[in-house]
Amino acid sequence: MEYSKDDLIEARRQIGSTLHKLRETVKTLRGKENPERYKAQITLAERRIRAFELADFLMEQEINGRSD
């Protein structure tokens, strides 16, 4: 599939927003009285953070490698 530079820039913006929300979620869950109770949710959020960071990095590489 082909995506325009504007598509990639908008996707990065959306990923940035989602990353912010996920990081806040992890902070909130870790700050709870018994964070062990939320271990599965924390692990899932951290895995999603890593996946979105990778996607963001790859999109940045694609954007910077384009000349259009």
Residues 49 and 58: beta-carbon distance below 8 Å: no
Per-residue pLDDT, 66: 73
HSE-up of residue 19 (Cα within 13 Å, Cβ side): 15
pTM exceeding 0.85: yes
Helix, coil or strand: residue 53: helix
Domain ranges of the chain: 5-65
pLDDT in tens, 13-52: 999 999 999 999 999 999 999 999 999 999 999 999 999 9
Which residues lie closer than 8 Å to 43 by C-beta, 6 or more apart? none
Q: Taking the CA atoms of the chain, what radius of gyration do you get in angstroms?
A: 15
